[in-house]
Structure formats: structure tokens, C-alpha cells
Amino acid sequence: MANKPTDESTPEELDSDAIEKSSDDQQSQSDAPEEAKGQSEAEEGQPDAADSSAQEDSSEELTKVKDQLLRTVAEMENVRRRAQRDVENAHKFAVEKLLSDLLPVVDSLEKAEEAAKTTDNADSMAEGISLSLKLFVSILEKSGIAIVDPLGEPFDPQLHEAMAMVPNPDAEPNSVMDVMQRGYTLNGRLVRAAKVVVVKGE
């Protein structure tokens, strides 16, 4: 009987094939971590760049917010100061209209005093009018009102109203030689200018 041919390989051939296969598997396994590591490093680099950009944007936004806040605080302080100044002016000049209405009363008392002094046996009347006038003026002064009576002083267009200019060799040029009507100020603000006669210069 003839022997059947067999496909069985020799032990040496099997061992060689197994070694080569094992070597290929190990090489593939060793290459896989290296590829994974490279991919991981590439992925880690991208978040770092994104974080840096986000931090820069946040810093710029914070700077803008701080600047806007400072501007707002400064504007609020300006508004507060203006409001405070308006309130102070309202307190100082609240009686300005009342003063304008009362000034003719003072003028009338002054004229009555002058007339009483020129009348015979009218000393008592003149004294009474004088006392009334002094009392009234004292009340005005307590309210911040000051009298502008510039007789003999240099003419000041901010406080005086020149009604006439008259030559006078015995007086300084451009000085007040006569006060026709006294002026008044309220807390330093002119309410009525003094009507005066000014010495005419040469």
C-alpha cells in the first residue's frame, strides 16, 4: 500500500512561523501606544491655545468694565455736586423776589425822613421814621442783604449805575460825588445797582 502524502509541516517550520507572527504582533502593540501618545499630545496642545485666547478676551473685557465703572462714578459725583450747588443757591437767593418788592418801602422811608427833617417842630416824627428805617435795614442785613452806598468811592460799573457825569475840580475824576439811590446786594449778588453821579475827568 502506498503512503498518503501529508500537509503537516515540520516542527522547525511551525516554530519559525509562530515566532515571526509573535514578533509582528509585538511590533504592532508597541507602535500603537506611540501613535496614541502623539495624538494625545496634539489634542492637549489645542486646549492650551484656546484657554490662552479666552484669558486675553476676559482681560480686555474686564478692563473695559473697569473703565466704564470709573466713568459712571465720576459722572455721578458731578451730578451730586451740581445738585448740591443748586440747593445752596436756592437757599441763598430764595428771598430775592421779596427783596425787590421791599426796596421801594425803604426808599419811601428814606424820603420821609428827609422831609421830616426839613419841617419845623417835626423832630419827633423824624426820629420815629429813623428808628423804623434802622430796624427795617437791620432785618434786611440779617437776611444777607448789604447796602451799596459808594459816596466818594471810585465808580464801579459792576455795582453802580452812572446817571450823570459832572465836572468837579475838588474830587477825583471818575469817582462818585453823589448817590441818588443806594444799591443792594444779596449774599454778594447784585440785586440793584446804586444810581450815582460821577465826577467827569479832564
Whole-angstrom distance between the N-terminal and C-terminal Cα of the chain? 170
Q: What is the CATH number of domain 145-202?
A: 2.30.22.10
With b for 16 or more beta-carbon neighbours within 10 A and e for fewer, the 29-68 pattern comes to eeeeeeeeeeeeeeeeeeeeeeeeeeeeeeeeeeeeeeee
Cell 429813623 belongs to 130
Q: Hey, where are the domains in the chain? A: 49-92, 96-143, 145-202
With b for 16 or more beta-carbon neighbours within 10 A and e for fewer, the 70-84 pattern comes to eeeeeeeeeeeeeee
- Could you give the percent of the chain with pLDDT greater than 90? 31
- 70, three cell numbers: 470709573
Question: Is beta strand 145-148 parallel, antiparallel or unpaired with respect to 183-186?
Answer: antiparallel
- When pLDDT is cut at 50, 70 and 90, the band that residue 9 belongs to is very low
Nearest-angstrom CA–CA distance, 18 and 83: 98
pLDDT digits (tens, 9 = 90+) for 112-142: 888 777 777 677 777 878 888 888 888 888 8
How many helices (H) and strands (E) the chain has is answered by 3, 6
Tell me, yes or no, if the pTM score tops 0.75: no
Handedness of CA 118, 124, 127, 133 (dihedral sign): negative
